[in-house]
Structure formats: structure tokens, C-alpha cells
């Protein structure tokens, strides 16, 4: 949703500014949305939480374990089911009537139903947190250290002479590149992860950067 600076500020004051954060898991979407909800008048909505609660799980770890890695048996079917769940949960989040919603989307929101993506484009100011080179290695480590459900969308392939884990680490940057293009197409504004994850950058700095220049 394209906004002028005046539109942005006017909608915020009226409780009608709708923000949606997109980008890879562990890149700072949840952190940023939570900071905005804590320091400004935003209502935090976590799509991942809606999904794992619908599955009957009590944590993100349980959701990640259910989905598994792309080389585990039955993963492709669970991936399809997960995308369907994400579509339904994202639709529910987008329909909220809470004031100034700040939606923390899933990393794979770009694979949800086109009708949902169309509503996201038209009704929300979409903020893409882009993974910069400095953080790509950290993302790969985090994938195993603090697992989150990850849709591979055909980007994982077992490589000759490499273990399954080594193959994942090799394939991850390709997944990131593919997703980056889709995130960019959906976004109204892009913020680098180097800004989001810099402890010297205040939430006030980030909020001001979110505003359109004109």
C-alpha cells in the first residue's frame, strides 16, 4: 500500500496504520514489531503463533519439530500443509480490527495464496527486513541452533560428497536469493538487517525511517 508521509502519520494518529513485516526467519521481524508495540501505539500480531496454536502446539520449537528438515520423511506433504496453514493464519491476521496492527508474518508468507498476498499489498504498508551479507552466516547457524519452520520450496538438494546438513548450508543462500526477489516485489519499504540488529539504533530511529520521504 503506497503512502505519502502525510498519509502515514495521519493513519497512525487515527489508529488506522497497518504495518506488515516480511523477511527471513530470525532476521528481526518479531523483534522490530515487538519494539514498535512496546514503544508506540501498535497492536502486535504474530502469525507463527496463530499457526502453532491451531496445530495444538505450545511453542515454536514444537511447530518446527513437526515440520522437520527437507530431507525427513513426509516433509513435502507437511510443507504443503504448512503453506495452507500459513495462508489461513495470515488471512486471519490481515482481517484484524485492532488499532494500528503490526503483523509479524512468517518467513514464507510469499508462498501463501495469491488472494492473501493481494490483500497484503493493497491494505498494508509492507516492510521488508533484508538480510545483509554480514548476517547470512548467522541465519544459517540459527536455522539449526534455534529451529523455526522453514519452507524450502524446492531449493534443497542433497549434494554429492556432502552430508544432509552440509547440503542444507550450501543450499540456504540460494533460497535466500530467491526469496529476496519475492520479498522486494511485495515491499513498500526495505530496511537492512544491519540497521534492525544494531543495538545503537533506537526504535525511534526505525520508526522515522519507516515513514515515506515525501
Tally of domains in the chain: 1
Task: Give the residue among 111, 49, 57, 46 at the shortest CA–CA distance from 84.
Answer: 111
Please name the residue that has the C-alpha cell 508521509: 5
Helix (H, G, I), strand (E, B) or coil at 210: helix
d(CA 85, CA 54): 8
> Would you say residue 103 lies in a domain?
yes
> Would you say residue 214 lies in a domain?
no
What was the pLDDT predicted at 207? 97
> Would you say residue 57 lies in a domain?
yes
Q: What is the pLDDT of residues 43-59, one digit of tens each?
A: 999 998 898 888 777 77
| Overall residue count recorded for the chain in this entry | 214
Please list the residues that pair with 191 across neighbouring strands: 129
Helix (H, G, I), strand (E, B) or coil at 47: helix
> Would you say residue 151 lies in a domain?
yes
Are the beta carbons of 183 and 110 closer than 8 angstroms? yes
Task: Give the residue among 78, 197, 186, 99 at the shortest CA–CA distance from 139.
Answer: 197
Q: Range of 105's domain? A: 5-209
Angle (deg, nearest 10), helices 60-67 and 47-54: 70
What was the pLDDT predicted at 36? 97
> Would you say residue 134 lies in a domain?
yes
DSSP conformation letters of 148-200: -----TT---PPTTS-HHHHHHHHHHHHHHHHHHHHHHH-SEEEEHHHHT-TT
Q: What is the CA radius of gyration of the chain?
A: 17
Its sign, for the CA torsion 145, 147, 150, 155, is positive
What was the pLDDT predicted at 134? 80
> Would you say residue 116 lies in a domain?
yes
What was the pLDDT predicted at 110? 97
C-alpha angle 118/119/124, rounded to 5°? 115
Q: Return per-residue pLDDT of the chain as tens, 214 residues.
A: 999 999 999 999 999 999 999 999 889 999 999 999 999 999 999 998 898 888 777 777 788 888 888 999 999 999 999 899 999 999 999 999 999 999 999 999 999 999 999 999 999 999 999 999 888 877 877 777 777 788 999 999 999 999 998 998 889 889 999 999 999 999 999 999 999 999 999 999 999 999 999 9
What was the pLDDT predicted at 22? 98
What was the pLDDT predicted at 141? 78
**CATH number of the domain enclosing 79:** 3.40.50.300
Amino acid at each position: 500500500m503506497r503512502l505519502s508521509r502525510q498519509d502515514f502519520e495521519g493513519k497512525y494518529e487515527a489508529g488506522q496504520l497497518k504495518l506488515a513485516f516480511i523477511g527471513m526467519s530470525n532476521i528481526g521481524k518479531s523483534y522490530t514489531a515487538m519494539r514498535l508495540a512496546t514503544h508506540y501505539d501498535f497492536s502486535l500480531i504474530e502469525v507463527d503463533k496463530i499457526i502453532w496454536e491451531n496445530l495444538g502446539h505450545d511453542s515454536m520449537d514444537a511447530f518446527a519439530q513437526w515440520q522437520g528438515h527437507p530431507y525427513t520423511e513426509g516433509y513435502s506433504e507437511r510443507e504443503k500443509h504448512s503453506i495452507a496453514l500459513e495462508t489461513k493464519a495470515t488471512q486471519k491476521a490481515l482481517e484484524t480490527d485492532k488499532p494500528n496492527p503490526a503483523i509479524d508474518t512468517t518467513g514464507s508468507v510469499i508462498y501463501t495464496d495469491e488472494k492473501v498476498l493481494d490483500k497484503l499489498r493493497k491494505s498494508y504498508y509492507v516492510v521488508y527486513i533484508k538480510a545483509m551479507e554480514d548476517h547470512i552466516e548467522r541465519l544459517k547457524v540459527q536455522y539449526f541452533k534455534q529451529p523455526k519452520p522453514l519452507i524450502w520450496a524446492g531449493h534443497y538438494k542433497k549434494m554429492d560428497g556432502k552430508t544432509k546438513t552440509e547440503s542444507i548450508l550450501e543450499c540456504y543462500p540460494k533460497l535466500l536469493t530467491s526469496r529476496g526477489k519475492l520479498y522486494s516485489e511485495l515491499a513498500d519499504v526495505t530496511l537492512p538487517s544491519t540497521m534492525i540488529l544494531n543495538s545503537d539504533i533506537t526504535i525511534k530511529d526505525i520508526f522515522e525511517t519507516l515513514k515515506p520521504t515525501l
